[in-house]
Chain A
Amino acid sequence: MVAQPSVMSARVYALALRAYPRAVRDRFGAGMRDAFAQDLDQARRRGSLRLASFVAVSLGQAIWFGALERLGLTVRPYQNDRFGGRSRSGSWTDVRDAYRSLRSAPLVAAVAIGSLALGIGANTALFSILNSLVFKPLPVHEPDRLALLDPGSFSNPVWEEIRDRHASVGTAGAFAWSVERFNLADAGEMTFVDGIYASGSFFEVLGVGASIGRTFDAHDDAPGGGPAGRVAVISHGLWQRRYGGALDAIGRAVTISRQPFTIIGVMPASFFGPDVGRAADIILPIGAAVGTRQAQLRTAATWMNIMVRLKPGQTVDHAAEYFRAVQPQIRVATQPDDRRPDQHLADDFTLASAANGRSTLRQRYETPLTIILIVVGIVLLSACANLANLFLARATARQPEFSLRLALGASRWRVARQLIVESVLLAIAGSALGLIVAQWGSALLVRQLATTAVPVVLNLTIDWRVLGFSAAAALVTSILLGLAPAASLSRLVEGDVLKAQGRGVMADGRSFTRSALLISQVALSLVLVVAAALFLRSFVMLTSVPLGFDPERLIVVAVDSQRAGSPSTPGPELAERLRTAVASVPGVASATVSYTTPFATRGWNGFIRIPNRAALPERESLSWVNLVFPGFFSTYGMRLIQGRDISLQDVHGRDRVTVVNEAFIRRFFPGENVIGLRFSGGTATDDTHTIVGVVSDAVYRSQRLGVPPTMYAPWAQQEPFTTFSITAQSATSAAPPRQAIAVALMREEPAVAYTFRGFGDQYHASVVQERLVTLLSVFFGVLALLLAALGLYGVTSYLVGRRRAELGVRLALGASGRDIRRLVLRRVVWLVGAGIAAGTALSLWAVGFIQAQLFELQPRDPVTLAVAAAVLFAIGVIAGWLPARRAARIDPAIVLREG
């Protein structure tokens, strides 16, 4: 046992020696390893603490000295000659001097490193999310040969046509998949897992294999399952979570969405499927689809995405040409009876490179994250401006020293170099710490992106892109930090400061640089404050969109009544039985059944056609659909404006009736009395509906989408769905009792699976993106404001300090405290005013980029701009007021004596 760590240490040390150039290793390597081994023995005898520190120091030395050797930085055997030019010229000396100079001002160094670490860390955190979302290629074989077939999604018949006739001709292969949530519970409360249905070619085309067991192929992707029955491949993560990594998980039976499956393989840990940001924990063959998807295998419902692998050397455009050429064939072969030919596959096929996978998360967050990245970039700039001012002040304070060195014959570059090295050192330390901040911050952010219904899984490991980004950030910051102080040296005349050091009213040669820095800082802060205010207002407007129903006392129970292992669908009376069971729970005032509920991810829409009228453009002729029980509207608190509610008599065999909302009338029958009017489509193309009632508007999916035209058809007049939602309304102001409802459901029908959805969660999920952007922009906007205030305060204090003598003389000559305050504040007001003017111009230009992110708000909103400017002005003046007050209290007697 004792030998093992030393063998390992020796190996690690040998590895660390690789830092040295080869020539040095060849020459000294054996001796170094020997010495290390001997000293290691010594150190071990002196305790584990000694041992640990010895190993750490040795490794550090090996890497550090190795790097120095590579850079050609060697030691000299002779002592430094402090006064000669020769020995003071090494870069290494600069680094050491810079280190000493920073250590002598630990507070300045700590503030600088801390703010840089936060700034660079925040930037790196956002970048690493963007990186994994947008830039990282999929961890599959030759990802740059993958392309996604557009537009949108396709039906299974279309996929089968492509699979059977075209994939092997036009490309090197293709696969289809659809994003699903699977329920792993046998019965009772559902346990959801993210997964996908994938075609048999999925693994082969991606070029990934199972780490244990096997993947499935075309033979397994047969209707109802292949020779091995219904098979499932699971992810490494699920294997660990659910089976504890047991090898005998292969071959086990598992119930997935109420159907029996057999696990045949486990994917490698790095594999997460074709969707970035989402873990494909369960992968099922399309042929084994269950529930609604099983029913959709033969219909024109579009629910699949298709990815192709290009032939070697084939371009995306070339492959797309092929698909466009065969599109008419595919269209004819898959023409559904119930759609007009010009509506089916109407848009031309295109292909988009998919080297880094597909991601709905990317579509949603790419722009918001980029905006926030720019925002934190500005905050970093602002922090840099503060630090540059701080260093400028320090450089001014050190002018006597620099001046002396210049007088003794040092070159300007020689002196400037030290300042630059100092800032580089700070930036390196800041970005090293920033990487740690970033790791923590990005994980925190990703948790914010996730909702109860949509978990987010992103690979956030630091790769060369992230490292490159933070190195670039460090480079930029060090240039920004070092440049101003170094440039200030150029105006320094040898010995000048030595003369001036006594006292006097000194012209402040650096005031221009400092003012410019401050003005730009104020301007940038204003942009951020304006952006934050816009996002905040937009968020408030979004969340105050009337829902059209009262969510307070409601709870939704989503029910899956498909029996495990039974292909037969339960009868239509089941929904009514379960509804009655829920409604009879004490504390529940009423309960209703519907196909979907507001804010649910499930939705249904269809094209509306009105007899004897010109059809609207395709996009505008869509109406959203919900199937409801009688009493749905009263449970949701929606008002019946005209006509009647759906009744118990609206069943199969009777005239198809429907209740539509006001938005439906505005779209399809503006200004008409619609009761009794008929239209077709919506639920299915050949269905004809008679409007019997009009109900008040309510949100269908989210507030951002607003209130779309919606038709409510009787549940009893459609084929029953095995999955539906029961909404219970509480009899009191408290939320309905979940526990009692669960018990009632289980007692009524033990085989059903169910899950509760509170409107709170769904509501939160529907605005998670807006909430995140608002939170971050407000946070960083306030941070920028504070930084600007700090900068103003610091610079004003500094200037007051510099002008103490002058102000003292003024006071002695009879100036009042007010005069002095006014004198100091005038400068602050001028700076802030100029900053605000510049910032306003900048904002007017910059906000154009966030227009798309705002909800019903003009980005060039004058009120927002005015408020932001006023806030910034007030804070700026307060920041300047404090030093001004101090200046007014200078005791002239003391100042004059000091001279």
Chain B
Amino acid sequence: MDISNMATSAALKPVAFHILASLADKEKHGYAMMQAVRELSGGQIPLQTGSFYRHLGQLIAAGLIVESSGRPADDDPRRGAYYRLTPRGRETLASEAQRLSNLLSAIGPLRPSRKGSH
């Protein structure tokens, strides 16, 4: 494995990774994204509304997520905006997934029973 590559690509925070991942299948509104993060992380990331939107704001600012212009026809008007990944966001998600998987395979033989660190 070429570890020289890892040094240049910065690691995403777990929260940011999960938020991007929550949009991998389709566009969603905020609360659906939160729920997806909670499920994806198996409760490891107990996301609260405040911190979720804090991260969402930054991911939008970083150009990884955008607000969708349209909304589904059967939508509840109380839901806020819908969001989707930008091409760059999809790329980042893929490369982060790759990085993590590389990391996993690198430590494969030493894999501890619990507790991994970045």
Contact = CB atoms under 8 A, between A and B. Distances in A.
A598 B78 CA distance: 77
Given A74-B58, A77-B59, A79-B10, A28 B53 contact: yes
Contacts of A69: 54, 57
Nearest to A20: B53
A31 B11 contact: no
A192 interface: no
A70 to B, nearest CB: 13
B40 interface: no
A36 B55 CA distance: 16
A77 B17 CA distance: 8
A77 B58 contact: yes
Nearest to B60: A27
B118 A65 contact: no
A350 B54 CA distance: 62
A38 interface: yes
A32 interface: yes
B54 A32 contact: no
Interface string B11-44: 1110010000000000001110010000000000
Contacts of A65: 50-51, 53-54
Contacts of A28: 30, 53, 56-57, 80
Contact of B13 (A29, A77, A81): A77
Interface in A49-83: 57-58, 61-62, 64-65, 68-69, 74-79, 81
A24 interface: yes
A57 B50 CA distance: 9
Contacts of B29: 31, 34
B81 interface: yes
Contacts of A74: 54, 57-58, 61
A57 B48 contact: yes
A35 interface: yes
Contacts of A58: 48-50
A68 B50 CA distance: 11
Contacts of B12: 77-79
A346 interface: no
A120 to B, nearest CB: 30
B116 to A, nearest CB: 14
B57 A30 contact: no
Nearest to B34: A35
Nearest to A87: B10
Interface in A63-115: 64-65, 68-69, 74-79, 81
Contacts, number: 91
A449 to B, nearest CB: 46
A39 interface: yes
A143 B46 CA distance: 54
Contact of B118 (A39, A76, A79): A79
A37 B79 CA distance: 11
Given A79-B12, A79-B118, A61 B56 contact: no
B58 A39 contact: no
A39 B51 CA distance: 14
A77 B57 contact: no
Interface residues of B, number: 29
Contacts of A68: 54
A33 B79 CA distance: 9
Contacts of B61: 74
A414 B98 CA distance: 37
Contacts of A77: 12-13, 16, 55, 58-59, 62, 64
Given A30-B78, A81-B10, A38 B31 contact: yes
Contact of B50 (A33, A38, A62, A81): A62
A78 B11 CA distance: 6
A291 to B, nearest CB: 66
Contacts of B80: 28-34
B92 to A, nearest CB: 9
Given A78-B10, A79-B11, A81-B10, A35 B52 contact: yes
Contact of A76 (B34, B52, B58, B78): B58
B30 A34 contact: yes
Interface string A34-46: 1111110000000
Contacts of B10: 78-79, 81
B50 A24 contact: no
Contacts of A64: 50
Q: Which of A31, A36, A79, A81 has the most CB of B within 10 A?
A: A31
Nearest to A31: B80
A31 B81 contact: yes
A165 B38 CA distance: 81
A618 B30 CA distance: 85
A35 B58 contact: no
Contact of A32 (B49, B58, B62): B49
Q: Which of A27, A33, A78, A81 has the most CB of B within 10 A?
A: A78
Contacts of B81: 27, 30-31
A584 B48 CA distance: 82
B27 to A, nearest CB: 13
Contacts of A30: 78-81
Contacts of A31: 29-31, 53, 79-81
A68 B59 CA distance: 17
Given A31-B30, A77-B58, A61 B51 contact: yes
Contact of A34 (B48, B54, B56, B79): B79
Contacts of B48: 39, 57-58, 61
A40 to B, nearest CB: 10
Nearest to A68: B54
Contacts of B16: 77-78
B84 to A, nearest CB: 14
Nearest to A79: B11
A747 B58 CA distance: 87
A394 to B, nearest CB: 30
Contacts of A61: 48-51
B53 A32 contact: yes
Nearest to A28: B53
Contacts of A79: 10-13, 118
Q: Which of A34, A58, A68 has the most CB of B within 10 A?
A: A34
Contacts of A78: 10-13, 16
A35 B78 contact: no
Contacts of B49: 32, 35-36, 39, 58, 61-62
Contacts of B50: 32, 58, 61-62, 64-65
A35 B31 contact: yes
A78 B50 CA distance: 19
A36 B79 CA distance: 11
B78 A75 contact: no
Interface string B62-98: 1010000000000000111100000000000000000
A34 B29 CA distance: 10
Contact of B30 (A32, A57, A81): A32
A209 to B, nearest CB: 45
A3 to B, nearest CB: 16
A65 B48 CA distance: 12
Contacts of A36: 49
Contact of B58 (A34, A75, A81): A75
8 contacts: A27-B57, A28-B80, A31-B53, A31-B81, A58-B49, A69-B57, A74-B58, A75-B55
Question: Which 3 pairs of residues, A with B, have the shortest CB-CB distance?
Answer: A31-B80, A61-B50, A31-B30
Interface of A: 24, 27-39, 57-58, 61-62, 64-65, 68-69, 74-79, 81
Given A35-B49, A79-B12, 8 more contacts: A24-B53, A29-B80, A30-B78, A32-B49, A36-B49, A38-B31, A62-B49, A74-B54
